[in-house]
Amino acid sequence: MTGWIPDADALNLFTGPRLQWPLTAEQLIDMELLDGFSAWIAVDEELTAVGHFDLTLDHRTARLGRVIIDPEKRGRGLAHALIHLAIARARELDADEIQLNVIAGNGPASRTYERAGFTRHPTPLRPGVERMFLAL
Ligand SMILES: CC(C)(COP(=O)(O)OP(=O)(O)OC[C@H]1O[C@@H](n2cnc3c(N)ncnc32)[C@H](O)[C@@H]1OP(=O)(O)O)[C@@H](O)C(=O)NCCC(=O)NCCS
């Protein structure tokens, strides 16, 4: 999956400042140590990985992060399916809300979240970073 992120700008869209370029598997594995953290890979019929997301549960709020679709499989509606998987996993974790941050101007990501019912918080997290919420 690290091969899906070709440069530092793509890494910033994927995860913001949380992880460092070049992304390594070790950085992702270290995230597994976070309380309430779970990471998920979506696969196709041949069990090939096509997407990834993670959830960090804090009380009953699930923070959705590191959403990505294989660059070769983008533009086919897979992100909508991925987000519905993330929502289902968050419900299974007994979350009552999902929060996420998205870099302003990331059209495909914002559109995906809006289509899934997420709404924007009126106050950005910081300039250029929007917060979105979904009540479960
Ligand atoms: C964001 C991402 C997951 C979307 O994956 P995808 O499989 O290509 O998305 P889809 O094909 O399901 O399309 C999602 C929606 O975005 C729309 N879209 C595509 N390009 C767009 C653009 N430039 N501006 C606005 N919307 C756009 C699509 O039309 C579609 O909406 P629709 O079904 O209502 O027409 C993918 O681009 C990606 O992995 N990006 C890099 C990592 C990233 O930015 N992650 C988000 C972190 S918050």
- Cα(4) to centroid(ligand 1), Å: 15
In the predicted structure, residue 1 carries a pLDDT above the cut 90: no
Residues within a 6 A CB radius of ligand 1: 13-14, 67-69, 74-80, 102, 106-109, 111-112, 115
- Cα(80) to centroid(ligand 1), Å: 8
pLDDT confidence bin for 57, thresholds 50/70/90: very high
Q: What is the pTM of this model?
A: 0.97
In the predicted structure, residue 124 carries a pLDDT above the cut 90: no
Mutate to test the pocket of ligand 1, among 68, 76, 78, 134 (most ligand atoms within 8 A of CB): 68
Mean pLDDT of the chain: 96
Edge-to-edge strand list for the sheet holding 129-135: 37-43, 49-58, 61-69, 97-103, 129-135, 119-120
DSSP 45-113: TT--EEEEEEEEEETTEEEEEEEEE-GGGTTSSHHHHHHHHHHHHHHHTT-SEEEEEEETT-HHHHHHH
- 6-21 mean pLDDT: 95
Q: Which domains does the chain show, CATH number per domain?
A: 2-135 (3.40.630.30)
